[in-house]
Chain A
Amino acid sequence: MNAIDALALLPLVLLAKTAVLVMLGIAVKRSHKLTLGLTLTGLAASFLSIFAVARLVPRQVTLLLLIDRYALFYLGLIIASAAAVAVLSSQYFGKHDGQCEELYLLLVLATLGCGVLVTSVHFASFLLGLEILSVSLYGMVAYFKGRGQGLEAGIKYLILASASAAFLLFGLALIYADTGSMAFSSVANLSVGKANLALLLPGIALTVTGIGFKLGVVPFHLWTPDVYQGAPAPVSAFIATTSKTAVVALLLRYLEAGTQQSKAVFLLFAVIAVASMCAGNLLALRQNNVKRVLAYSSIAHFGYILVGFLAASTMATGAVAFYLVAYTVTLLTAFGIVSVLSTSEADAADLEDYRGLFWRRPVLASVFAAALLSLAGIPATIGFVGKFYILASGANAAVWPLILVLVLTSVIGLFYYLRIVVTLFSTLPEPQSSTQKLEWGSAFVLGGLALLLIWLGVYPAPLLNLIRATISGLN
């Protein structure tokens, strides 16, 4: 490892330093504003360093990490979404009396874990990244010790995540026993025929269990609604977007080759994708809790993303990247609205909290409606372009059954999004005065997200160009 290698790691190093600084900062002076400032400065520095590093890539730093344009693209997405979550948290946690500074510490650590995941090309770094992420998330989910639901969610997440990590570890061991290598490239041995499939395939299946758990795809989805519901809204946003983005980026690196070369792996993911699309959309139909609806909807959305993953082409990789951006922007917007409307006692999760919101808070409600329509994939929103891209890559690869399932289930999905939209616009029985003020930080973030949501939905060319440039570096 030489100086240039070290420089290439700059974004990750800066994230790690931010974590240390935030911790020291809290030790010296407990101040919400100061902690938030430190966090945002660190995230911004790390984000900017991506541009500096972009000229050095691709560069393999030790056996563990590969910094290339692909990794940098996802790093950028992760850090940006983490920063958005930090700002949203400041309003959300500012309402509470308890100490909230440690949340930012955990947030930065979790972001670091995500960063390690998207750059890793080796089982060791994979596991390290995943554990840094998971352990920080336990704390974030159960951050409110006083709220029963939060504790329940935290413990549920702790137990299930540890179990899935065990599965993952066992799977990685099997693959290692078979191929004698801990690099991701060992999976490519599937095609050559020199590997012992009796060990390799179960190994892959077990690692898929671990990855599937983090993505919350069926049949590993059971934790999703409870954790989304129980966790503080900005933390739910982080779990739904940042952590899942990192895992998808890792999945593409790890198994893209596998789906092309092995029918069994393809079939495994096809079943997971179909089951996620169906279950996610169907189970959301009868929910009255907005956070649970968003949880089920995210299950379905990762089904859609897996369709792009299965299409396995340069176009599909681009489609997945675009979809992840679209999904991140949209879901952050939706959860942002939820956290802005939440009170210090409880999150604004019940559908009734949103009745007639448009006539009380027209701007917030319009933004929320735009986010829901984006999730439903209606044109002029970024979600539409994402869905279009996924469908196009699927049509290109001629995976017609998957596309058909995608279309039919997304019509089912439309139903529950419309239900929320109707509630937003329905008339109030009695006029209520709303007390939740929109702080300028949240307003800035939500405004920016809403702008992206519409702008990239109407004119996606800049993002498409960026993604094209990113993928051209991936081989």
Chain B
Amino acid sequence: MILILLIGILLLGGILAAISGRWSSNLPRWISLAAIAVDLVLSGRIWAARSLSASNAWYHEVDWNWVPNFGIHFHLAVDGLSFLMLILTFFLGIVAVLCSWTEIRDKIGFFHFNLMWVLAGIVSVFLAMDLFLFYFAWELMLVPMYFLIVIWGHERRVYAGTKFFLFTQCSGLLMLIAILALYFLHHQATGVYTFEYSELLGTTLSRGAELAIMLGFFVAFAVKLPVVPLHTWLPDAHTEAPTAGSVILAGLLLKTGGYGLLRFVIPLFPHAAHEFTAVALALAVIGIIYGAVMAYSQTDLKRLVAYTSVSHLGFVLLGIFSWNPLALQGAIMTMICHGLSTGALFVLVGGLQERMHTRDLDRMGGLWTVMPRLSASALFFCLASLGLPGLGDFVGEFLVLLGSYKVSVALTLFATFGILASTFYALRMMQRAFFGPNTNSWRLPDVTPREGLIITAMVLGLLWLGFHPQPVLNTFAPAMHNLQHEVQMRAAAPGSQP
């Protein structure tokens, strides 16, 4: 029940925010904050009440009949992996509300409605254990995100929003076909119509079918992650979205792609994924280097940060398809830390844009003397992003590289160059924006208390993840063990290969 509450509170909060927007501009903000805070408390209760037996990685479950004619269940469940993603979602949700406090002055009620509903969609994606429900939530989170971009975005918002929607919808429909194919093949093999994740796990597929269906899923997640060459929506969408939208896009929506690969692609199709490993790893490394090079050559600050996402999420793909404990732990760590560090960078860029009304690096310079505190925090998050030891991102990327080293030395070597390149773009950004002479004679207010609160929380989070990542890794361990166990069993199962 508590899982349904998590989603329900967000949905209800959104509706209340929309209605209250008629009377007051601050009421929707407080309602949204309260709704997310309640969810955070509820997830604390899930954590406290989890069963600690080794055999059961699931903390909590809800399973209702939804559309019995098709064997569709309303099945939500949370394990360590989902739990970490939930916490990240709520944390960044609060950040998103706070960072748009002064940025959004127009249609505030409807803005928070969309914000709450996109969070509800994301939470459902992380919890869904029925493939139909998963697809349902997957598509549903698009619509409010689309509105966030096209209504409150910057200059080319309609173009960016439409591109985002079309890319995700097209790949999503391919996934729907793949889900349906799996559903009918499962029925042929067992005589049971079901979309249930745990039952579909055991489906025996021919080699060709497995590969084709796996690709259907992979494309959907690859667009979200994003994997080069399916990434072209990302720089546009991130750049044009309002700050809260960028934070949610980079911090959460991209993670749903990684989550999908971890939860669905590899456990459901271990053989096909194994065959596909070489391609996926190569794509990952291409993404890492391509993202870094593109980031280096941007003059739009927001676009620069967007391209760093392409690079960082390449590590996630690398870790997931290396599929050993080290690499998987690294992938999860990277997902979480990227959410914090890139989210924080978007908040800072949003803050700059709000003050300067530009994102152009050429018009900046010398901002350190004007806004020392904001600049120092930018330096901190840039260092986190380039992988400074002691901060979260380093742990994630280091673990991924350790894991992928066992799979392919050559690719790991190239991926390491990606880290090197990240130093270039991060330092270039610092140098162009914050150091040097203040040629444009900017006079700008420094960090407000509200921004200070966001920045402090994110700094502490990154430091904690950097120095003491073990609790996070422990949380994820039983879930990861389960996933790996499933894959090993299936790989060893006789008769599954032709």
Contacts and interface: CB of A to CB of B under 8 A. Distances in A.
A386 to B, nearest CB: 13
Contacts of A465: 69
Interface size class of A (residues with CB under 8 A): 20 to 34
A71 B68 CA distance: 25
- Of A379, A391, A411, most buried by chain B (CB within 10 Å of CB) is A379
A168 to B, nearest CB: 36
Contact of A407 (B67, B70, B173): B173
Contact of A418 (B135, B146, B181): B146
A392 B184 CA distance: 9
Contacts of A380: 136, 140
A54 to B, nearest CB: 21
Contacts of B176: 388, 391, 407
A403 interface: yes
B146 A468 contact: no
B67 A414 contact: no
A414 B162 CA distance: 9
B162 A418 contact: yes
B147 A425 contact: yes
Contact of A460 (B67, B135, B140): B67
A415 interface: yes
Interface in A342-381: 359, 373, 378-380
A468 B151 CA distance: 42
Interface stretch (B163-171, B278-286, B474-482): B163-171
B139 A379 contact: yes
Interface in A414-466: 414-415, 418-419, 422, 425-426, 459-461, 464-465
Nearest to B173: A407
Nearest to B132: A388
A388 B173 CA distance: 10
Interface string A223-238: 0000000000000000
A425 B174 CA distance: 29
B166 A392 contact: no
Contact of B158 (A373, A384, A422, A461): A422
A414 B166 contact: yes
Contact of B166 (A378, A415, A422): A415
B337 interface: no
A271 interface: no
B177 interface: yes
A388 B140 CA distance: 14
Given A414-B165, A461-B68, A379 B174 contact: no
B177 A378 contact: no
A465 B181 CA distance: 23
Contact of B177 (A395, A396, A460): A395
A411 B169 contact: yes
Given A425-B151, A461-B67, A464-B69, A378 B139 contact: yes
A407 B175 CA distance: 11
B184 A395 contact: yes
A391 B169 contact: no
Contacts of B135: 379
B170 A411 contact: yes
Contacts of B174: 407
Interface string B303-336: 0000000000000000000000000000000000
B146 to A, nearest CB: 7
Contact of B140 (A379, A414, A419): A379
Contact of B170 (A359, A408, A422, A460): A408
Contacts of A89: none
B376 interface: no
A459 B70 CA distance: 12
Given A415-B162, A425-B151, A461-B68, A395 B180 contact: yes
A365 B183 CA distance: 37
A410 interface: yes
A414 B139 CA distance: 13
B177 A407 contact: yes
B150 interface: yes
A336 B251 CA distance: 41
Contact of B69 (A414, A425, A461): A461
A341 to B, nearest CB: 21
B192 interface: no
A353 to B, nearest CB: 19
Contacts of A459: 66-67
Interface string A57-72: 0000000000000000
A384 B136 CA distance: 9
Contacts of A391: 176-177, 180
B154 to A, nearest CB: 14
A461 B184 CA distance: 20
A426 B146 CA distance: 13
A355 B136 CA distance: 29
A439 B161 CA distance: 35
B143 interface: yes
A407 B173 CA distance: 6
B150 A464 contact: no
Contacts of B173: 407, 410-411
B183 to A, nearest CB: 8
Nearest to B170: A411
Interface in A1-36: none
Nearest to B147: A425
Contacts of A415: 162, 166
Contacts of B161: 418, 422
Contacts of A461: 66-69
A378 B138 CA distance: 10
Contacts of A419: 162
Contacts of B140: 378-380
A298 to B, nearest CB: 20
Contacts of B67: 459-461, 464
B479 to A, nearest CB: 27
A468 B180 contact: no
Nearest to B65: A461
Given A411-B173, A422-B158, A461-B67, A395 B150 contact: no
Contacts of A379: 135-137, 139-140
Contacts of B66: 459, 461
Nearest to B176: A391
Nearest to B174: A407
Contacts of A464: 67, 69-70
A196 B150 CA distance: 60
A468 B70 CA distance: 12
Nearest to A460: B67
A418 B143 contact: no
B241 to A, nearest CB: 15
Interface in B62-84: 66-70
Interface in A96-114: none
B136 A422 contact: no
Nearest to A414: B169
Nearest to A400: B177
Contacts of B177: 391, 395, 403-404, 407
Contacts of B162: 415, 418-419, 422
A407 B180 CA distance: 13
A278 B39 CA distance: 45
Interface string B365-385: 000000000000000000000
B182 to A, nearest CB: 10
Interface of B: 66-70, 107, 135-137, 139-140, 142-143, 146-147, 150-151, 158, 161-162, 165-166, 169-170, 173-174, 176-177, 180-181, 183-184
20 contacts: A373-B143, A378-B139, A378-B143, A379-B136, A388-B176, A391-B176, A391-B180, A395-B184, A403-B177, A407-B170, A410-B173, A415-B166, A418-B146, A418-B161, A422-B158, A425-B151, A426-B151, A460-B67, A461-B66, A461-B68
Given A407-B177, A459-B67, 13 more contacts: A392-B70, A392-B180, A395-B184, A404-B177, A407-B174, A408-B170, A411-B166, A411-B173, A418-B146, A422-B158, A425-B147, A425-B150, A460-B67
Closest 3 CB pairs between A and B? A395-B180, A407-B173, A411-B170
